[in-house]
Amino acid sequence: MSKKINVMLIDDNKIDLFIHNEFVKKMNVLGSITQFCFAKEALAFLKTKGSDEWPDLILLDIHMPIMNGFEFLDEFAQLPVTLRQKCSIVIVSSSLDNIDHAKAEENKLVLALFEKPLNIKRLTEFLQENKII
């Protein structure tokens, strides 16, 4: 695995951000990593950055204050397609609500939903299968 990718983590819980950060580091594929507690700030970041600084992968939480994961996706869909198309989004959530799962499945921007705690082996396999890493 020589491919280096940029990863963005969005989660209102700092400990989960830390865990996901460590996991991504272990995957040994890292270009850069950016972390956000608030989806709004992540969005602002994406709006100001050019293609080389854009993430290839976003791990996105659903239940967050101010702007939740789905609201983030709605805003994300408005960003230029040229930037969006190189970026894969994986939802990571501890929600058991069928409605959340169905919404994630319906959303074309979402590649997959992983339940917390994140299983690093499964995520790595999944990303390899989808040629993201």
CB atoms near residue 56 (< 10 Å):
19
Rounded CA separation 133/4 (Å): 8
Residue 8 contacts residue 55 (beta carbons within 8 Å): yes
Closest to other proteins by CB, 20 or 43: 20
CB of 39 to other proteins, least distance (A): 16
- Rounded to whole angstroms, how far apart are CA atoms 127 and 57? 9
CA 7 to CA 25: how far, in whole Å? 10
Local structure of residue 118 (DSSP, 8 states): P
Tell the smallest beta-carbon distance from residue 20 to other proteins (Å): 8
Residue (46 or 60) nearer to other proteins, CB: 60
Closest approach of Cβ 42 to other proteins, in Å? 19
Least CB distance to other proteins at residue 22 (A): 5
Q: Which residues in this chain contact other proteins in the complex, by CB under 8 A?
A: 13, 15-16, 19-20, 22-23, 26, 63, 94-98, 115-120
Q: Among residues 54 and 114, whose Cβ is nearest to other proteins? A: 114
CB nearer other proteins, residue 49 or residue 116: 116
Span between the terminal Cα atoms of the chain, in Å: 7
Length in residues, the chain: 133
Q: Whole-number minimum distance, CB 116 to other proteins, in Å?
A: 4
- In the complex with other proteins, the residue whose CB is nearer, 75 or 115, is 115
